[in-house]
């Protein structure tokens, strides 16, 4: 958990914890991050404000925990059919759909934004939410590299960033629409760069 305060407390009310998470995710979808308030969460959850302040340092921390409680911290693994390009395209297409789904996008965007503002939170966001995804790509690429499918001197981490950086950028800043075509093209470009020589 993100809670830096006595995470071991056994006195803590699980009922309240769930109610706070539910209220947070409901409200973030209804009013957006800026108008999400601790008071509002407490009221919706039927909980005293102090109960929130006792366990979380900010609304972003509440939201992060709420989001993770839903999403789970479990390890992610990319499919490995032997066809790297196909695997990457499939996963990215799924991600496009996910990031175009308001129910997912609202809290995730809120957390990304909160992280961009606050270094302390961004560390949490990156390691607990974003890095899991990145690592899955890095692992898949390393496998391909071990199998000789891609150049031995390529850095899987950089390659991953060249895939997900443009993806994330389009999504976050809405600079251009996030489509399957777009991610397919990204993969094609990347495959050229990674081709063994």
Partner DNA sequence: GCCTAACCGAGACGGTACGTCTCGTCTTTAC
Partner DNA sequence: GTAAAGACGAGACGTACCGTCTCGGTTAGGC
Is 123 one of the binding residues for a copy of itself (CB under 8 A)?
Answer: yes
Within a 10 A sphere around the Cβ of 103, how many other Cβ atoms?
A: 10
Is 152 one of the binding residues for a copy of itself (CB under 8 A)?
Answer: no
Is 126 one of the binding residues for a copy of itself (CB under 8 A)?
Answer: yes
| The token pair that represents 144 in the structure block | 């391909």
Identity of the residue, 16 or 160, whose beta carbon is nearer to a copy of itself in the bound complex: 160
x/- map, 160-179, a copy of itself, by CB under 8 A: -xx-xxxxxxx-xxxx----
CA dihedral 25, 31, 33, 37 (to 10 degrees): -80
In angstroms, what CA-CA distances link 112 with 7, 45, 67, 123, 125? 24, 24, 12, 11, 7
Q: Which of 122, 158, 124, 152 is nearest to 138 (CA)?
A: 158
Identity of the residue, 19 or 111, whose beta carbon is nearer to a copy of itself in the bound complex: 111
Is 94 one of the binding residues for a copy of itself (CB under 8 A)?
Answer: no
Minimum distance from CB of 55 to DNA (Å)?
A: 6
Minimum distance from CB of 31 to a copy of itself (Å)?
A: 12
Window of 17-25, 66-74, 80-88, 113-121 that interacts with a copy of itself by CB under 8 A: 113-121
Q: Are 132 and 81 in contact (CB under 8 A)?
A: no
> Please, which of residues 21-40 interact with a copy of itself by CB under 8 A?
32-34
Is 135 one of the binding residues for a copy of itself (CB under 8 A)?
Answer: no
In angstroms, what CA-CA distances link 40 with 46, 64, 69? 10, 17, 20
């Amino acid at each position: 958990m993100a809670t830096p305060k006595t995470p071991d407390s056994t006195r803590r009310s699980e009922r309240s914890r769930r109610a706070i998470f539910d209220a947070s995710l409901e409200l973030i979808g209804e009013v957006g991050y800026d108008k999400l308030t601790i008071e509002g969460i407490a009221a919706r959850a039927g909980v005293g404000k102090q109960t929130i302040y006792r366990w979380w340092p900010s609304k972003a921390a509440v939201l992060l925990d709420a989001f993770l409680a839903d999403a789970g911290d479990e390890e992610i693994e990319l499919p490995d059919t032997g066809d790297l390009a196909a695997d990457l395209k499939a996963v990215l297409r799924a991600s496009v759909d996910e990031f175009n789904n308001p129910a997912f996008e609202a809290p995730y965007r809120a957390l990304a934004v909160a992280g961009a503002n606050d270094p302390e939170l961004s560390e949490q966001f990156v390691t607990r939410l974003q890095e899991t995804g990145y690592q899955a790509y890095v692992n898949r690429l390393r496998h391909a590299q071990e199998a000789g499918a891609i150049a031995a001197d390529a850095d899987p981490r950089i390659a991953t960033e060249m895939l997900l950086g443009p993806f994330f950028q389009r999504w976050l800043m809405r600079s251009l629409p996030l489509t399957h075509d777009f991610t397919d093209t990204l993969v094609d470009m990347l495959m050229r760069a990674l081709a063994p020589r």
